[in-house]
Copies of this chain bind each other. A is one copy, B any other.
Amino acid sequence: MRLSRYFLPILKETPKEAEIVSHRLMLRAGMIRQQAAGIYSFLPLGLKVLDKVSNIIREEQNRSGAIEILMPTIQSADLWRESGRYDAYGKEMLRIEDRHERELLYGPTNEEMVTDIFRSYVRSYKDLPLNLYHIQWKFRDEVRPRFGVMRSREFLMKDAYSFDLDFDRAQTAYHRMFVAYLRTFARCGLKAIPMRADTGPIGGNLSHEFIILASTGESEVFCHRDYLAMNEPGEDVDFANADQLAGIVKDWTTPYAATDEMHDEAVWNAVPEEERVSARGIEVGHIFYFGTKYSEAMGAVVAGPDGNNVPVHMGSYGIGPSRLIAAAIEASHDENGIIWPKALAPFDVGLINMKPGDADCDAACERLYAEMQAKGIDVLYDDQDTRAGAKFASMDLIGLPTQVIVGPRGAKVGEVEIKDRASGARDTISIDQVVARISA
């Protein structure tokens, strides 16, 4: 993409309303724009990252056997009356009346609707296990929305719902999502640590939050140092193998890890002091087994092997892609801007023409631009006639992993500078070597 034909509205000023670094950087880098309190547009650069996150989530959901659907944003109040949550949900639910005075709402989550879909079609245990997910906009009318897309009112969520015949099978479904989440965050370039979460009145041990460590995180977390060195499961995980899944979950839940809420000082003190990591974290995913809570209330039953109807055991599994972007920036930035993990970067490479109009610079840039595109390298080419200093600052701000800098003296002798955004390391190399170096 040529910058002259793109829409990348970089802000020079730091917006005053932004309290946290990811919000500031996303506004300054032209990724998002606030349209109303807690409601944002994704501008081109922000949307590219949102799509990358969503696609990684989608691929890992599919790999685990979950099936994608798409439920609407607007729901009927009647459905929520069946579960009892219409009255219970409180003011965070955006309630709507249509022209016929029918009560609707903007879905804050989809347990009721997906249970309704399930009960409409599925009759037999033979059609289980089933896990349906969608990636759709939700609305929660936070009393004081802030922190940009980290805590917006309209936000994108991937929510999956599993349906199983009994607790044991539901537990395997839970493990499947647990492992899919480990892979998802790892592929996003993020270290996420599963931490036991409060299960409320349902009890049991089947609720985990996935927490990214970031010095600017919203809450205090405590974990064993072992987590930092653990490797996430590879592509060869067998999602049909319940024992293998249970083993992975066991490995990832044995060392101590807890949010402030669930922290147990006694157990923590038993961890050797040098192994303790006390840090700040950001929740990026939450998985939850809730048994027959909705299936009983809403009559979602299947005939079991003995022919008798039983309510299905369910779980729900959420990741917020819009929130995840902010979390990734909180975890990876410096004083000059964002430092994207490769998998989330909106472009792979930023190509800077330091002197548009200079014949050598233009020729070198055009050649590199064409060669990179031919290799499938997604490149943002700054071909604009602006000061070199401003170009460097913008490119650091938007945080593409690699910069290729073409100046008149280098171009004349066939050389360019290549800069790694994360380390800041710069190297002068021959133009001939650029594509091979980036592809390596």
Using a CB–CB cutoff of 8 Å, the interface residues on chain A facing chain B are 5-7, 9, 30, 33, 35-37, 39-44, 47, 50, 65, 67-76, 79, 91-92, 94, 96, 98-99, 102, 104, 106, 113, 116-117, 120-122, 130, 132, 137, 139, 141, 143, 153-154
- Cβ of A69 and Cβ of B44 under 8 Å apart? yes
- Cβ of A143 and Cβ of B99 under 8 Å apart? yes
The count of identical subunits is 2
A36 contact from B30, B70, B104, B153, Cβ within 8 A: B104
Q: List 26 A-B contacts (CB under 8 A).
A: A7-B69, A7-B130, A7-B132, A9-B121, A30-B121, A33-B117, A35-B79, A35-B116, A36-B104, A39-B75, A41-B113, A43-B69, A44-B67, A44-B68, A44-B69, A47-B69, A50-B70, A72-B137, A73-B73, A74-B106, A74-B139, A74-B153, A94-B96, A94-B98, A96-B96, A99-B143
Q: List residues of chain B with CB within 8 A of the CB of A98.
A: 94, 141
- List 4 A-B pairs, minimum CB-CB distance, nearest first: A9-B121, A42-B70, A36-B76, A91-B99
Q: List residues of chain B with CB within 8 A of the CB of A65.
A: 5
* Interface residue SS majority, chain A: mixed
**Chain B: minimal CB distance from A143 (Å):** 7
**Chain B: minimal CB distance from A104 (Å):** 7
Q: List residues of chain B with CB within 8 A of the CB of A40.
A: 72
- Cβ of B96 and Cβ of A69 under 8 Å apart? no
Decide: A73 near B137, CB < 8 A? Known: A7-B67, A120-B33: yes
**Chain B: minimal CB distance from A93 (Å):** 9
Q: List residues of chain B with CB within 8 A of the CB of A75.
A: 35-36, 39
Q: Which residue of B lies closest to A1 (CB)?
A: B67
Q: Within the assembled complex, what's the spacing in Å between the Cα atoms of A306 and B36?
A: 35
Q: Which residue of B lies closest to A43 (CB)?
A: B69
Q: List residues of chain B with CB within 8 A of the CB of A70.
A: 41-42, 47, 50
Looking at A30, A106, A113, which has the most chain B CB atoms within 10 Å of its CB? Answer: A106
**Chain B: minimal CB distance from A111 (Å):** 14
A72 contact from B5, B116, B154, Cβ within 8 A: B154
Q: List residues of chain B with CB within 8 A of the CB of A33.
A: 117, 120
Q: List residues of chain B with CB within 8 A of the CB of A106.
A: 74, 96, 106
Decide: A6 near B41, CB < 8 A? Known: A94-B96, A139-B74: no
- Cβ of A47 and Cβ of B68 under 8 Å apart? yes
- Cβ of B72 and Cβ of A39 under 8 Å apart? yes
Q: Within the assembled complex, what's the spacing in Å between the Cα atoms of A173 and B74?
A: 34
Q: List residues of chain B with CB within 8 A of the CB of A130.
A: 7
Q: Within the assembled complex, what's the spacing in Å between the Cα atoms of A91 and B101?
A: 12
Q: List residues of chain B with CB within 8 A of the CB of A91.
A: 99
